[in-house]
Amino acid sequence: MPLMLRRPFFWVITAVVAVFAFLPALGDNVQLRESLALATIYITLASNLNLMLGYAGYINFGSIVFFGLGGYICIWLTDAHHASLILGLLAAGLGVSALAFVFGFGILRLRGPFFALSTIGIVEGVQAFVQNFEPWGGSAGIYVSPEVFAPLGGPARALWVIYFALVGTMGLSLYLSYGIKISKFGLGLLAIGQNEDAAAILGVPTPRYKAYVYSASAFLPAVAGGLYFFKSAFIQPADAFDLSLSTEALVVAMLGGQGTVTGVALGAYLYEELRGYLLVSETFSHFQLVVAGMLLLLIVLFFPSGLMGFVYSRFPRIKKVLE
């Protein structure tokens, strides 16, 4: 950790988090808060996806499962069992991480494309489970009574508390991404992404590292899911496992530049702004997936290293400050 404090990029992250926290709070600007809240969720999902995609080179089409399951666990604990929000969030993060760890050892024995296919299966499997699981309301979902907001000082104040928690989750995601990147663990992951066989021969414990990173990439999205669904006070399978969100996380990570911390955060912010613009315009609001798909296709075909790849090739020095 002290090593991290001496790096300039650590302070860049801290500054970004501070701006996110103070900007809407300064003018009590609720509209800005809602727009930034969405951006924090995109950044959280995309940075954690990036741990798999950008570092270890494994595509996870099912990152939304972490978000949705986290939401369910948190809502279920706070609503049916009257747990406090913090307890619900912790349980969501730890529970989903543990689940991912167990699953990870199974499916991470599959390499490359086969792993990606099995993550599609995980989405279907978890969704089918939740739809049939009566304590979680089956396909009707769970409505939360407004009383759960009481410990946070009523609904209006609760929204601010949740927003700051979301910003915190985003900050932790960025620190986690960066911390892993500069660690020995991260070096092992990058080696796996380059050539898994060679990494294994050089002594990287590949199955264990992959399971660790899969599990680590589950924690914060689960917390974000808990906060998001607690905020909307309602959860149902169709929203919790909305395929488009996990797709967008993928688009965002590729847009900004997989494997970079700044790029992914920047991509998430830009995509959120673009999406807001498209939703307002009449013609595009129904064709959000089309736009996301087109964007992804263009990036994959022509700019596989994303925004940061372009910036790095133009200004190689910037790599020292923005990682």
Partner 1 sequence: MLGILASIIDGVLVGLVYGLSAMGLTLIWGVMDVINLTHGTMIVGGMFGLYLLVTAAGVPPYVALAPVLVGGFLVGVALYWIAVHRMVGRPPLMSLLSTFAVNLVLIGIGTGVWGTALFNVAVSLPGITIGRYTFPGAHILAAVLAAVIAAALYLFLHRTRLGKAVRAVANNREAAELVGIPTVRVLAVSVGCGVALAGVSGLLIGTLFPFTVLSGDGYQLKGFVVTVLGGFGNPVGALMGGVALGLLEGAVTPFVPVSWTLVIEFALFVLVLIVFPNGVFARRGGL
Binders of partner 1 among residues 79 to 108 (CB under 8 A) are 106-107
Residue closer to partner 1 by CB (options 29, 132) is 132
Using the contact rule CB under 8 A, the part of the chain among 121-129, 167-175, 228-236, 259-267 near partner 1 is 121-129
**Of the candidates 129, 143, 277, 315, which one interacts with partner 1 according to CB under 8 A?**
129
Using the contact rule CB under 8 A, the part of the chain among 5-13, 63-71, 125-133, 140-148 near partner 1 is 125-133
Residue 230 in contact with partner 1, rule: CB under 8 A: no
Q: Look up residue 6 and give its two tokens.
A: 């001496």
Question: What would the x/- binding string for partner 1 be over residues 21 to 60, using CB under 8 A?
Answer: ------------------------------------x-x-
Residue closer to partner 1 by CB (options 6, 286) is 286
Ramachandran bin of 28, using left for φ above 0, alpha for ψ from -120 to 50, beta for the remaining angles: left
Question: What would the x/- binding string for partner 1 be over residues 242 to 281, using CB under 8 A?
Answer: -----x--x---x---------------------------
Question: Using a CB cutoff of 8 Å and minimum separation of 24, what contacts does 97-104 make?
Answer: 97/215, 97/216, 97/218, 97/219, 97/222, 98/215, 99/69, 99/218, 100/66, 100/214, 100/215, 100/217, 100/218, 101/211, 101/212, 101/214, 101/215, 103/214, 104/210, 104/211, 104/214, 104/215
Residue closer to partner 1 by CB (options 90, 123) is 123
Residue 292 in contact with partner 1, rule: CB under 8 A: yes
Residue of 119, 94, 75, 115 whose CA lies nearest to 237 = 75
Residue closer to partner 1 by CB (options 12, 292) is 292
User: Measured between alpha carbons, how far is residue 41 from residues 171, 189, 214 in Å?
Assistant: 11, 24, 19
**Of the candidates 22, 143, 287, 310, which one interacts with partner 1 according to CB under 8 A?**
287
Specify the residue for token string 């969030």: 89
Q: How far apart are CA 3 and CA 101, in angstroms?
A: 28
**Of the candidates 293, 319, 320, 321, which one interacts with partner 1 according to CB under 8 A?**
293
**Of the candidates 101, 125, 179, 270, which one interacts with partner 1 according to CB under 8 A?**
125
Binding site for partner 1 (CB under 8 A): 57, 59, 61, 106-107, 109-110, 112-114, 116-118, 120-122, 124-125, 128-129, 131-132, 247, 250, 254, 286-297, 300-301, 304
